[in-house]
Structure 1
Amino acid sequence: MTPRASAMAPDDRRKAILDVLVPLIVEKGGDVSTREIARAAGIAEGTIFRVFPDKKSLMLAAAEEAINPADGQAAFDEALAGVVGLRAQVVVATERVLDRMRMTMSVMMAVRQHLMGLHDDHDHDEHENEKERQGPHGEGERPGHGGKPAFGPPPFVIKAQEDLHRRLTGLFEPHRDELAVEPSVAAIALRSLIFGASRPELGMAAALTPDQIANLLLDGVRRRDS
């Protein structure tokens, strides 16, 4: 018998579904069915579509949750609670971002067809907008002249990077007096090391551990007696 979903606010129901869906995508890939999702969440299949209009929006929401979870800042703060010292905090933060990055890559690869659909939708909208700009005689602005680029990362990816930058800047801010650069610069350096540490999509195995990243960030690569 199909389980009957308990009463839940839409935002809470959305989060509950995504909490189940993200690891399910990592395990089974993007072909996971809404029936399987509903079974894993303990709800009726129709309940999913009371929150998400279609499977595409559901899968894109999973990608957004993977790269930038709604409770990301709270979970980050909780992980660092009681961790003393800048080096130890950098190691913990690096472990978390690396783990999230690997999971996100799995989810993004699984939902890539839906991400490409965003590209197609954008192209269609740009085509319609261009026709309106040109008017009935084909005159008007040309695409890309003084406007935005034709296509870039989805807004949720840009927001995820902005949020991560703020999070890492906040990590360094209490240690400002220990730094030779601004906390925001230290955040960029740490993020660059983390993102360069493991790029399996480029055939690169994990090359740097969190401890190595912390050492390189805080101490550099030169010997102290050089």
Structure 2
Amino acid sequence: MTPRATPMSPDDRRAAIVSAAAPLYAEQGGRVTTKQIAEAAGIAEGTIFRVFTDKRALLMAVAEQTINPPGGSEQMAAALAALPDLRAKVEATIRQVAARMESVMQVMVALRSEVLASGSLIEKGAVPPGPPPFVQEANQRLLDSLRDHVFAPHADDLRVPPAEAALLLRSLVFGHWHPGMHPAERKLSPEQIADAILLGVTERKDA
């Protein structure tokens, strides 16, 4: 029997569908079907298309939540607050950002496939060229969080501004964990990346 959706406001229904779809896309990428999403959300498949115009619109919403989750900066601050020193914070941050990147890449690959499958939408202007604005916003928020929560509390131990240290950390993690850059067995550990970062940004005590 087809499940009957519990009455919700459009915004709540949208959020519930995105929350159900996000882990599916993170695990399976573009293989996810709207039937699977509906089952995960406990709704009829048609309910999805009363909230989203098409699958691409749903994927965009999933991508935005995955790359720029609500409260992400606050969660980072809370997770780092109890850690004893800069090294511990850097290593924990590397693990957190890398895990999010893996989920984001699955969703973005699925989104790209959906856009390509939609024919000439880009040429017609229905799909703007370049990354969606929320991607740029998420990158800036991440940089701000790295600056404020990882490096700024230890500014006296740095030989570069916290913002520059944040950019170095983000660049290393993004470049290293980007799909296809390295075979899995050749990836550096968070500890190795932390060494590279900290030896480059901490003040030499023996100088």
TM-score normalised over the length of structure 1: 0.77
Tell me how far 1:167 sits from its aligned partner.
Answer: 1.2
Q: 1:141 aligns to what?
A: none
Q: Which residue of 1 aligns with 2:170?
A: 191
Whether the 8 Å CA contact 1:119–1:151 is kept in 2: the answer is no
Q: Which runs of 5+ in 1 are unaligned?
A: 127-149
Quote the offset at 1:24 in angstroms: 0.8
1:147-200 deviation line (CA, Å, top 9, x unaligned): xxx942221211121111111111212222221111110100111111232333
CA distance in 1, matches of 2:118, 2:188: 34
Match of 1:163 among 127, 141, 144: 141
The answer to which structure, 1 or 2, has the higher relative contact order (CA under 8 A, 6+ apart) is 2
Letter in 1 for 2:167: I
1:187-222 deviations in Å (ceiling 9; x for gaps):
00111111232333234435221111112111249x
Q: Quick check: 1:180 aligned with 2:159?
A: yes
Write out aligned runs for 1:1-226 (5 A).
1-116=1-116, 120-125=120-125, 151-171=129-149, 172-205=151-184, 207-220=187-200
Aligned length: 202
**Cα deviation, residue 118, structure 1:** 8.9
Q: Which has the larger radius of gyration?
A: 1
User: Comparing 186-195 with 42-51, which one deviates more in the overlay?
Assistant: 42-51
TM-score by length of 2: 0.83
Cα distance in structure 1, aligned partners of 2:165 and 2:10:
39
How far apart, CA to CA, are the structure 2 residues paired with 1:119 and 1:15?
28
Deviations 1:113-164 (A, max 9, x none): 23447994443239xxxxxxxxxxxxxxxxxxxxxxx942221211121111
2:163 partner amino acid: S
Mapped partners of 2:120, 2:155: distance in 1: 45
**Given that residues 83 and 89 in structure 1 are in contact (C-alpha distance below 8 angstroms), is that contact kept between their aligned partners in structure 2?**
yes
- Deviation of 1:36 after TM superposition, in Å, equals 1.5
**Aligned Cα root-mean-square deviation (Å):** 2.9
Distance change >3 Å, CA 70–CA 120, structure 1 → 2: farther
Asked whether the 8 Å contact 1:3–1:44 carries over to 2, the reply is: yes
Q: Secondary structure at the match of 1:201?
A: coil
Q: Do the aligned residues in 1 keep the contact of 2:27 with 2:106 (CA within 8 Å)?
A: no
| Counterpart amino acid of residue 165 in structure 1 | L
Q: 2:59·2:111 contact (CA, 8 Å) conserved in 1?
A: yes
Partner deviation per Cα, 1:62-82 (whole Å, 9 max, x = no partner):
122222222322332332231
Higher helix share: 2
For 1:152, the aligned partner's letter is G
Q: Cα 1:71–1:44, aligned 2, differ >3 Å: closer, same or farther?
A: farther
In the alignment, residue 189 of structure 1 is paired with which amino acid? L
User: Which amino acid in the other structure matches residue 180 of structure 1?
Assistant: R
Deviation, 1:112, is 1.4
